[in-house]
Amino acid sequence: MNNFGNDLLNVGIGILILLAALLVGSFVFSKLTRFNDWEEIRKGNEAAGIYMGSKLLGLGIIVAMVSYSSHDWEAMLIWSGIGILLLCLVYVLFDFLTPKLNVCEEIAKGNKSVAQLLRAIILGSSIVIGTFLM
């Protein structure tokens, strides 16, 4: 109970870092897509919602794993940033390696099967990336 104030401060800082990672990560990911994620979601495009939710969940997984193994906030920020970049790289590589499947076009059209495939790739990659960064 003596460390309650310090523990509470650490939780608050951790939440701020998580929110920053989610904001930066979703911004960077949005720049990689050739459609407006939030506009598609506002229009009711379920595929875009699945895809955006997967990105945010994947980023959260990475930040959680990094925070578990980091001993200071600076390291957590740095490794979370590296995780965001690696997750973006996975998306770019997937898009590049599947030239017959235009991911952005399919999601913009509402193709939920492509969104589900991306969900699996993003979440699986997030677990692997987070484990590497631990």
Question: Residue 1 has what pLDDT?
Answer: 58
Q: Read off the pTM.
A: 0.87
CA distance 110 to 34: 14
Q: pLDDT by residue (tens digit) across 46-105?
A: 999 999 999 999 999 998 999 888 888 888 889 999 999 999 999 999 989 999 999 999
Q: CA-CA distances (angstroms) from residue 70 to 1, 40, 112, 118?
A: 23, 36, 36, 28
Task: Compute the distance between CA of residue 5 and CA of residue 2 in angstroms, rounded to an integer.
Answer: 8
Print the domain residue range for 67. Answer: 4-133
What confidence tens digit (pLDDT) does each residue in 94-105 have? Answer: 989 999 999 999
Overall number of domains in the chain: 1
Q: For the chain, how are helix, strand and coil distributed in percent, rounded to 5? A: 85, 0, 15
Lowest mean pLDDT among 3-12, 41-50, 76-85: 3-12
